[in-house]
Amino acid sequence: MVCKGQPVSTVFSAGGSSATFNSVQGGLTAWSVDSTVNQLNLQNFWFNVGGNNTSVGSLTFQSATVVQDSPTEKTLTAVYGSTAFNVTLAYNLTDIGNGSGDIGESIVIQNNRASALNISLIQYTDFDLDGTPGGDTAVLSTDSIWGNYVSASQYKGALHAGATVQQSVVTPEADAGEVDGMGGLLGRISSGAYSLSDNSGPATGSDTSWALQWDLTIGGSGTTGISEDNEITGVAVPEPSSLAVLLLGVFGLGLRLRGRHA
């Protein structure tokens, strides 16, 4: 499936997992695992080329392509363009089962000019684990040698007792990061030339979120890429036997009610 030249909201599913890409937001606006509630409020990208932070969604949207890789794996690729540079976002959705799912991400920036491009890229992430924003804790991890950011973790309630999301930065490591527990991080990112504060947490609050920032120099007509992985585990999935008992109970109640009116 290919969508071109217009803002779209595209759902792509694999097995029991499903995600939604929104071209206006410039990222994902939903992700459910094993047909449960939505675990993600928003994960999108912002860039800065010497002015204010700007959403990738403000660039010219060129296309979104969905490819079925296997019965449990599907990839969505979205392309944005401008005269200065292009951005390609690729999301590889994999259904793991048993309350787990995975999305591998690739972000590629192509410099369209002969001179070097200095650009900062920020990824903003707001998971609502188990479908609710409150009670989540987020923390960022850094490289012990260089101090760069290598991963982010968010969990609901006691550590690893409920739903957990882990984002691992594969390459390159992020230059800056920030966690927030009160829902104000997106406003700070979108308010101007804000640079992340390096507050690695942990942070807990009414609406936990985090962001990672890469400060990049791309040579003339050059390309650079960022690869990372997101995995959700521990999502509570109804037992098939329990569901069958529930349906049987409802069906039995219907029979009793029908009998009273016979």
The answer to whether the pTM exceeds 0.85 is yes
The reply to whether 19 falls in a domain is yes
**How far apart (Å, rounded) are the C-alpha atoms in residues 122 and 12?**
24
Average pLDDT, the chain: 89
Q: What is the tens place of the pLDDT at every residue in 42-99?
A: 999 999 999 999 999 999 999 999 999 999 999 999 999 999 999 999 999 999 999 9
Q: How many residues does the chain have?
A: 262
Q: What is the tens place of the pLDDT at every residue in 184-199?
A: 999 999 999 999 999 9
Return the closest-CA partner of residue 180 out of 133, 147, 143. 133
Mean pLDDT, residues 193-213: 96
pLDDT of residue 25: 96
The reply to whether 88 falls in a domain is yes
The reply to whether 37 falls in a domain is yes
**How far apart (Å, rounded) are the C-alpha atoms in residues 92 and 90?**
7
3-state secondary structure 150-168: EEEEEEECCCCCCCEEEEE
pLDDT of residue 2: 45
Domain with 42 in it? 2-237
CATH code, domain with 59? 2.70.98.40
Backbone phi and psi for residue 43, each to the nearest 5 degrees, phi listed first = -135, 110
Angle at 69 between CA 108 and CA 4, to 5 degrees: 55
The reply to whether 79 falls in a domain is yes
pLDDT of residue 188: 98
pLDDT of residue 236: 83
Return the closest-CA partner of residue 7 out of 68, 77, 88, 78. 78
DSSP 17-61: EEEEEETTTTEEEEEESTT--B-EEEEEEEEESSSS-EEGGGSEE
Residues 6+ apart with CB under 8 A from 108: 87, 88, 90, 223, 224, 225
Mean pLDDT, residues 125-137: 94
The reply to whether 11 falls in a domain is yes
User: How many structural domains are present in the chain?
Assistant: 1
The reply to whether 247 falls in a domain is no
Q: Give the residue, 261 or 192, on which the prediction is more confident.
A: 192
